[in-house]
Every structure is written in structure tokens, then in C-alpha cells.
């Protein structure tokens, strides 16, 4: 079930999209006693959106969906080619976004399309948290 779809420009900051994602999760997912998983989803949103602005020269589209396995974060852009996981040095600022995604996500990857690519991350959520308020 798609709970958020938002278009963003190259120079748009990730913070408004992160807030929209947080609101969508609050509106569509029952609150649980441990909501730390939400922070992980919002980190994934921020990292994937920021990657578009930094590496593609354009904007993109964020889609957030609830699945039986968790929360699917997808960011589509018009660039071709898969993103590269970097391994920055200890003193290097930045370059750790996909390493974070890899550590937090159940799975992540890239899907090519006619107009570019989509980078996706399936973020784990407690089974009780994915009890959708509205009927699917």
C-alpha cells in the first residue's frame, strides 16, 4: 500500500520529505511500544533523497509503501547506472549513505526503468507496526 508519493527538485532539502514521510507513517501505521524502526526508515529517506541531489544533477520522486515485510522506501531519478557503495576513510566527511542503508535494510537495490532508475530499500518494521489502520 503506497502511503506517500512526492516529487522533489535537485536543490530541495531532504528534511521536508523526511517530515512528510514521518507524517505518513504516523497516519497509516499503528503506534507500537518501540518505534525506533521509524527513525531507521526516516534515515533511509534522507540518505536516498540526498544521493539524488548530490550524484544525478536532477530531482526525483520518493515513494513510501507498506508491505508485509516492512516499509519500502523508493527514490526514482532520471540518471542511469547503479549507485556505487563507497568506503570512505575515517576522516572523510560523507560517503556513508549506502553503507548505512546496507546495514539497516532487510534488502536494497536498484531497478532500471525507461526514464532512469529507482533505488529502493526495504526497511524492517515490527509485525505489529505494519498493522495498517486503513483497509488495504
Predicted pLDDT at 42 = 95
**Is the CATH number of domain 2-130 3.40.50.150?**
no
Listed range (37-51, 53-67, 75-89) with the worst mean pLDDT: 75-89
Predicted pLDDT at 119 = 96
- Decide if pLDDT at 78 tops 70: yes
Q: Across the strands, what pairs with 109?
A: 120
DSSP label at residue 35: -
- Structure-block grid coordinates of residue 38: 521509524
Residue 85 in contact with residue 102, Cβ under 8 Å? yes
- Structure-block grid coordinates of residue 7: 516529487
Choice between 46 and 136, residue whose per-residue pLDDT is larger: 46
Predicted pLDDT at 135 = 42
Neighbour tally for 93: CB within 10 Å: 6
Q: How far apart are CA 37 and CA 42, in angstroms?
A: 9
Q: Residue 83, Cα to own-chain centre: how many angstroms?
A: 14
- Structure-block grid coordinates of residue 109: 537495490
- Decide if pLDDT at 123 tops 60: yes
Q: Is the dihedral of CA 1, 40, 44, 103 positive or negative?
A: negative
Q: How far apart are CA 110 and CA 112, in angstroms?
A: 7
Amino acid at each position: 500500500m503506497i502511503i506517500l508519493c512526492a516529487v522533489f527538485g535537485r536543490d530541495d532539502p531532504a528534511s521536508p520529505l523526511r517530515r512528510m514521510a514521518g507524517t505518513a507513517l504516523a497516519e497509516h501505521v499503528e503506534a507500537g511500544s518501540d518505534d525506533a524502526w521509524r527513525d531507521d526508515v526516516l534515515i533511509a529517506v534522507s540518505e536516498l533523497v540526498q544521493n539524488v541531489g548530490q550524484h544525478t544533477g536532477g530531482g526525483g520522486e520518493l515513494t513510501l509503501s507498506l508491505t508485509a515485510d516492512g516499509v519500502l522506501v523508493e527514490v526514482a531519478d532520471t540518471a542511469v547506472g547503479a549507485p556505487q557503495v563507497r568506503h570512505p576513510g575515517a576522516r572523510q566527511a560523507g560517503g556513508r549513505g549506502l553503507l548505512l542503508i546496507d546495514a539497516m535494510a532487510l534488502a536494497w537495490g536498484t531497478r532500471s526503468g525507461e526514464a532512469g532508475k529507482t533505488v529502493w530499500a526495504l526497511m524492517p518494521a515490527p509485525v505489529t507496526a505494519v498493522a495498517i489502520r486503513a483497509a488495504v
